[in-house]
A and B are shown apart, each in its own frame.
Chain A
């Protein structure tokens, strides 16, 4: 299986603070991999470098055969990396459908002149987009919520909307940043099944940042552990679970029951 994403020697310094220290990271196609580590380990910073929100201080990121190091976020999204955010960043005052439609921005072509003239081609494109957005919302478990403002949705639904929106960007690689934070066990189980469905039905590759070990253990094929910005372990969930350094970093009271 080819590697969809290869990160080599990726490093991020903020002034004197080294948030991510020369991390190598590889994501095989159509896999579900997880990135875990104690709070402050640099996971979200690493994510942000993969998605272009931060420019790496050093290192390279190659995605799908293209060098995307330091490219702006929208360019990386166009290449095929979609993401959700740790603290939900939906467009609160837009409806679920509109949120999803924004996700499609880079896949639609309607320009300014066409929009003003509302050419038949544009009308068709918009209709198709709305249909697709509607389907995505249904797929993500948000049936009937099309016209609800994002801020009015229940927490679990907001998380789902974030995923739907990310899916709208037609990604090859989906980055989920702590997607089950704040969810109860039932919601978490539903979400875990949903992620598997994504990989199986949509042929996506998924990278997960997670704190909930049940999720990590259940669906990850491979787990990478960061601590203080460095990779301290990598392997199957079982291997990592037994790794001494990992246990040390986590104090072992992670909910692995």
Chain B
């Protein structure tokens, strides 16, 4: 009896499902692989992982109730436990060690921004080249409400810079959790204001204009030490320090939550876990939006604006919502990052960042949440540590000498590498690494690209 016949009888449709199941088993097997790799032996980990893989491949565990949650939960578990097992992980070939927890925080913040941009570019199909403006807006909101910048005012609301002996520190010091909410809402409002004149423009003009706003924002930040007489942004020096996150003394005494992240011995982990929570929040909202009436309207607009309008979808309003939602998450990400770095400077914000985040969305797969997370993680890792590691490996192992004749500084080529990624992705796999099936079809078969406003006179 052929073993495949046996499988076919046991699992009808076995062949059709093969690839899908293989993928899911592989992803679910990942936790086993990595956690076992803690032993430091890649060989042992591979053996055990193969066993786990087969064990997960055969039974129809994903048709159990809640079965399809297993993949998601294992990935989340992986992420949450990362600070604990990461020091024991083996070294990857070429890339070297896994990223540190500190890098992890930065990666998570970039992932959050990529998810925010995904709503604008991936769902609604609006090419936004100025996402850095939202990031800057969020960062400065944190700077205004959680630092000594406005030192002529003293206002405290659970802010970390205001405990005990510090309770008379000048400036506005609100607790970071409120600041994040403010940042999100404020940036969303800015997004709506920016969107008002620009969202009626067709795709390529919209791109340039958003680029413009992305350039204007840092310039305002740079010159903001004297805006009509007010010092709004403290100019090129930026605003620092910015209060770290924290839960305050009351909660600390009652439940043991850290009063001030920086005063805790495991501060990096705290930052990391909070960032993870923010990312999960963004994923949650993205999914809900995607499957809602608004999400459908976004897809309709992306496919055929004129038909969408004819079906009762108000174009400007719907596009503005996409913009506002994207801005909301970008603002929160920016505010949190400012708190993490304890400072914000105009030099932090430049055009390349917008393209960088766009690259994550595109490489990952426009409109697909998992894809964007993957793209975001990979590219931000490359930017922070990966490229440097690759360079070190190439130099140490003679690859650079062989190809170029001398050692090379790989991070110098970062923008070029990202450019190549963009071009190659657009040419050969525009739907990204993990496409939504919709997008794949759109790129292969095209959409009706005629913007409505050109036509309506």
Chain A residues with a Cβ under 8 A of chain B? 51-55, 72-75, 77-78, 83, 85, 89-94, 98, 101-108, 110-112, 115-118, 122, 126, 129, 149, 151, 165-166, 168-169
Give the CA-CA distance A63 to B389 in the complex, in Å. 68
For chain B, the count of residues having a C-beta within 8 Å of the partner chain is 37
A115 touches B441 (CB 8 A): no
Across the interface, name the chain B residue whose C-beta is closest to A98. Answer: B296
A77 and B310 contact, Cβ closer than 8 Å, known pairs A54-B457, A55-B456:
yes
Which B residues touch A122, using CB under 8 A? 292
| B398-457 interface with A by 8 A CB criterion | 438-439, 441-442, 445, 447-448, 452, 455-457
B294 touches A112 (CB 8 A): yes
A93 touches B441 (CB 8 A): yes
Partner of B445, one of A54, A92, A98: A92
A83 and B310 contact, Cβ closer than 8 Å, known pairs A54-B457, A74-B315, A93-B303:
yes
Give the CA-CA distance A55 to B454 in the complex, in Å. 12
Give the CA-CA distance A110 to B294 in the complex, in Å. 8
If A91-B303, A94-B438 are given as contacts, then 8 extra A-B residue pairs at C-beta distance below 8 Å, sorted by A number, are: A53-B310, A74-B313, A91-B308, A93-B439, A101-B293, A105-B293, A108-B293, A166-B311
A105 and B441 contact, Cβ closer than 8 Å, known pairs A89-B306, A112-B289, A112-B321:
no
Which A residues touch B447, using CB under 8 A? 92-93
- Is B314 positioned at the interface, with any CB of A under 8 Å from its CB? yes
| A19 CB, min distance to chain B CBs, angstroms | 12
- Is B325 positioned at the interface, with any CB of A under 8 Å from its CB? yes
Partner of A93, one of B285, B309, B442, B457: B442
Which A residues touch B294, using CB under 8 A? 110-112, 115
Which A residues touch B288, using CB under 8 A? 115-118
Partner of A90, one of B285, B297, B307, B314: B307
B441 touches A149 (CB 8 A): yes
Which A residues touch B448, using CB under 8 A? 89
Which A residues touch B225, using CB under 8 A? none
A91 and B299 contact, Cβ closer than 8 Å, known pairs A51-B310, A55-B457:
yes
Interface of B is mostly: helix
B456 touches A74 (CB 8 A): no
| B373 CB, min distance to chain A CBs, angstroms | 19
Give the CA-CA distance A129 to B293 in the complex, in Å. 10
A102 touches B445 (CB 8 A): no
| A118 CB, min distance to chain B CBs, angstroms | 6
A151 touches B441 (CB 8 A): yes
A165 touches B456 (CB 8 A): no
- Is B300 positioned at the interface, with any CB of A under 8 Å from its CB? yes
30 A-B contacts (beta carbon < 8 Å): A53-B455, A54-B456, A72-B314, A73-B456, A77-B311, A91-B303, A93-B438, A93-B447, A94-B296, A94-B438, A98-B299, A101-B296, A102-B308, A102-B313, A103-B311, A103-B312, A104-B312, A105-B293, A106-B312, A107-B312, A108-B293, A112-B292, A115-B288, A115-B289, A115-B293, A116-B289, A126-B292, A129-B293, A165-B311, A166-B311
| B457 CB, min distance to chain A CBs, angstroms | 5
Give the CA-CA distance A10 to B448 in the complex, in Å. 28
B296 touches A53 (CB 8 A): no
A73 and B309 contact, Cβ closer than 8 Å, known pairs A54-B457, A91-B303, A149-B441:
yes
A169 and B457 contact, Cβ closer than 8 Å, known pairs A73-B452, A149-B441:
no
Chain B residues with a Cβ under 8 A of chain A? 284-285, 288-289, 292-297, 299-300, 303-304, 306-315, 321, 325, 438-439, 441-442, 445, 447-448, 452, 455-457
A110 touches B292 (CB 8 A): yes
A102 and B297 contact, Cβ closer than 8 Å, known pairs A53-B452, A54-B456, A55-B457:
yes
B303 touches A92 (CB 8 A): yes
A94 touches B299 (CB 8 A): yes
Chain B CB within 10 Å — which of A83, A89, A108, A117 has the most?
A: A89
A105 touches B292 (CB 8 A): no
Which B residues touch A90, using CB under 8 A? 307
Which A residues touch B309, using CB under 8 A? 52-53, 72-74, 77
Across the interface, name the chain B residue whose C-beta is closest to A169. Answer: B312
| A104 CB, min distance to chain B CBs, angstroms | 8
Which B residues touch A110, using CB under 8 A? 292-294
A74 and B314 contact, Cβ closer than 8 Å, known pairs A54-B455, A115-B288, A115-B294:
yes
A105 touches B310 (CB 8 A): no
Across the interface, name the chain B residue whose C-beta is closest to A83. Answer: B310
B313 touches A85 (CB 8 A): no
Give the CA-CA distance A105 to B455 in the complex, in Å. 22
Give the CA-CA distance A74 to B325 in the complex, in Å. 22
| A57 CB, min distance to chain B CBs, angstroms | 9
Partner of A91, one of B307, B445, B456: B307
Across the interface, name the chain B residue whose C-beta is closest to A84. Answer: B310
The 10 A-B pairs at the shortest CB distance, nearest first, are namely A106-B312, A115-B292, A73-B309, A77-B312, A89-B307, A93-B438, A74-B314, A91-B303, A110-B293, A102-B300
Which B residues touch A108, using CB under 8 A? 293
B311 touches A169 (CB 8 A): yes
| A159 CB, min distance to chain B CBs, angstroms | 14
| B401 CB, min distance to chain A CBs, angstroms | 49
